[in-house]
Amino acid sequence: MTSAPALDERLPDRLTWWDTTWRVGLALLLGLVFWAFTAALVFPDPDQEPETWRGLWLVLVDPLLGLVAAGCLLLRRRWPVAIATITTLLTGASTVAAGAQTIALASLATRQRWREILPVGALTVAAGLFSARIIYPEPGTDSLPLWAEALVNVLVVGIIIAVGYSIGSRRALVRSWVERAQTAESEQRARVAQAQTAERSRIAREMHDVLAHRISLVTMHSGLLSYRQDLPEDERRAAVTAIDSNARAALTDLRAVLGVLREDDEGSPLRPQRTLADLPELLDDVRSAGTRVSLGEGGPDLTTLPETTSRTAYRVIQEGLTNARKHAPAATVTVHLAGRPGSELEVTISNPRSLNRDADPVPGAGVGLLGLSERVTLAGGRLSHGWHGDEHRLAVWLPWAS
**How many CB atoms sit inside 10 A of residue 54's CB?**
15
- Out of 143, 175, 201, pick the residue that ends a domain: 143
pLDDT of residue 27: 84
Burial 2-17 (b: 16+ CB within 10 A, else e): eeeeeeeeeebeeeee
Residue 42 covered by a domain: yes
Instruction: Calculate helix-pair angle for 307-327, 279-288, nearest 10 degrees.
Output: 10
Specify the DSSP class assigned to residue 385.
E
Q: Give Cα separations from 304 to 271, 280, 310, 335, 348 (angstroms).
A: 21, 18, 10, 20, 20
The count of domains in the chain is: 2
Residue 339, Ramachandran bin (φ over 0: left; ψ between -120 and 50: alpha; else beta) = left
C-alpha to C-alpha distance for 260 and 270, rounded to whole angstroms: 6
Among 148, 177, 209, 172, which Cα is nearest to 368's? 209
pLDDT of residue 17: 75
Residue 306 covered by a domain: yes
CATH (domain of 356)? 3.30.565.10
Strand pairing category for 344-352 and 391-399: antiparallel
pLDDT of residue 164: 87
pLDDT of residue 153: 86
Specify the DSSP class assigned to residue 272.
P
Residue 326 covered by a domain: yes
Q: Could you list the pLDDT tens digit for every one of the 402 residues in the chain?
A: 344 444 344 555 666 778 788 888 888 888 888 888 777 776 666 666 655 677 777 778 888 988 898 888 888 888 889 998 999 888 888 888 888 888 988 888 888 889 988 998 899 888 888 888 787 776 654 567 788 888 888 898 889 899 888 888 888 888 888 888 888 888 888 887 787 677 667 666 666 666 766 777 777 767 667 666 677 777 777 777 777 777 777 777 666 666 655 554 444 444 556 888 888 888 888 888 778 898 887 778 888 888 888 888 998 998 888 888 887 877 889 999 999 888 899 999 999 887 665 555 555 545 567 778 878 887 889 999 888 888 889 999 999 987
C-alpha to C-alpha distance for 218 and 243, rounded to whole angstroms: 5
Please calculate the CA angle 273-279-280 and round it to the nearest 5 degrees: 135
Among 127, 125, 132, 133, which Cα is nearest to 150's? 125
pLDDT of residue 345: 92
Helix (H) or strand (E) holding 392: strand 391-399
Residue 216 covered by a domain: no
Residue 204 covered by a domain: no
Residue 333 covered by a domain: yes
- Out of 78, 108, 143, pick the residue that ends a domain: 143
Residue 193 covered by a domain: no
Sequence length of the chain is 402
Residue range of the domain that includes 28: 17-143
Residue 73 covered by a domain: yes
pLDDT of residue 264: 46
- Out of 100, 122, 143, pick the residue that ends a domain: 143
The phi, psi pair for 337, rounded to 5°, reads: -120, 135
Q: Give Cα separations from 53 to 49, 59, 135 (angstroms).
A: 12, 10, 10
Q: Are 349 and 335 in contact (CB under 8 A)?
A: yes
The phi, psi pair for 230, rounded to 5°, reads: -100, 20
